[in-house]
Chain A
C-alpha cells in the first residue's frame, strides 16, 4: 500500500516535472519566434496586402480615394510617349541584372579560385579586393565619378593609350556612355563581391578529392570544370536564384551617380523616386505599387521555372 502511494507520489512529481519542462520548452520556442513572427505579420504580410490594394487605388486631388485599374492602364500607356522612362528603365534593369550576375557568379568565383590556388600575394589581394564591399556606395560613387570624370586620370589614360575621344560632358554626362559608366562601376565594385561565399565553399572541398584528381593526371582546367565547379554548385544555384528573384530590382547606384539622367533610369530607381520625391502628388506611390505588382507577376513564373530547371538537371553532391 505504502509502496503504491510512494509510486503514485513519484509519478505525480514526474508528471509535474514533465509539465514544467514542457512549459519552459514552449516558452523558449515562443521567445525565439515571437519577434520574427510579428515582424513577418506586420512588415511582410500586412505591407504586401496593403501594397496590393494600393495598386488598385488612386488618390484624387479632391481628397477621395478611388478604386480603379487606372494605375495599370497608365503604365501601359506610358509606352506611347516619346520621353517615357519605362522602356529605358526596363532595358537598363535587364542589362544591370546580366552584368551583376556575371560579376556575382563568374568573376567572383574566378577570383576566389585563383586565391584558393594560392596565387602570389593572395593574402594581400584577399584584403584589398573586399574593400568595395565594406565601403559605403556614397563614398565609392563620389570617388569613382571624380576618377572617371573629365579632369580625372582615366580619361587621360584612355586617350593616350587608345586615342579615345573624351565626350565633352564626361561619361556620366553623355547618354551614350552614362549607362556604360554605371555598369563599369558595378563591375569595378562587384568583381569580388561574392568572394567570401566562394571562399567558404571552396574551403569546404575535401583535400583528398583534389589530391586524387591530381594523381589521376587531371589538368588544372579540367579540375576546375569537372571537379571544383560541381562541388560548389549549390552556392551557384543559390546565387542564381537570389539574383533572379531580384531581377527587376537590379540597379546600379543611379541616385548617387546620375540621378536618373542621361538614360540611366532603372525600374527600382523609378520606384524609389516615386516614394522619396513626393512633393506634389500622392499618386506616384500608388503608381509605384502597380508597377511593382506588374513586375512581380512577370517574375514569379520565371523564378519557379528556373528553380525547377536547376533542381531537375543538377543534383547536389553531399560531402
Chain B
C-alpha cells in the first residue's frame, strides 16, 4: 500500500498553520477519504464538513493544492502524490475550525434577492403551462448544489472582499434562474446593477472553471444578465425601440 503526505490547515478564526500528515492511500480514494482516515487515525479533533460523499450536497468545499474543489470529487490519481498535497479551507469566508468555514453570509445575501413571483395560473386548477424549450435554459441553473466554490474563487470577493457590494456568481446564477423563468414577473434588473453589483464581475470565468456541476455560469447566467442590464440602462437605441413597441 502506498503512502502520501498531506498538509492540512489546522486552526480557527484566531489563526493557524499547516500540519503535515503521512498516511496510507489506496487506489480509488478521494481527498475526503484521506481526510477521514487522518481524522480516524491521527487527528481525532480535525474538523471537516461533509455529508453525501457524492458531489451533490456541496458541503466538503475546500482548496486542494490551491484550487477550490470538492474534497469528495477530487480523486487522488488526479494529484501528484510525490509532493505533499495541501488542503485548506475556503479563503473567501471566515474560518471556524480547521477545514470548516462560516458560509452564512451567503444565506443572508439570498434573502435580499427579490423572490420568484409567478404570473397568474394559466389553468383553472391553478397550474401553469411552460414549453420544454423555455424550461431547459433555466434548468441548468437548478443544478447548483450551493457548494460556494464559485464564491470562493471569485476575485471580487476573495481578493477585494466586496461582500457588501457584490452578491457573487452563485447568486447571479440564482437571479438568472428566476429572471429567465417564463413564469416570473418580478423585475430584478435595477437591483442587479445597483445592490447586486453585477458590474464588478470582469468575466474571468474562474467561477465556471471550478463549478463541480459544470454550470456555464459566465456564459449562460452572468453575461446574459449583464446584457439585460445594458438593455435597461446603457443602450439608448433599446430605449427608443421600447417606446414604439
A, B from the same assembly: no
A residues contacting B by CB (< 8 A) are none
B residues contacting A by CB (< 8 A) are none
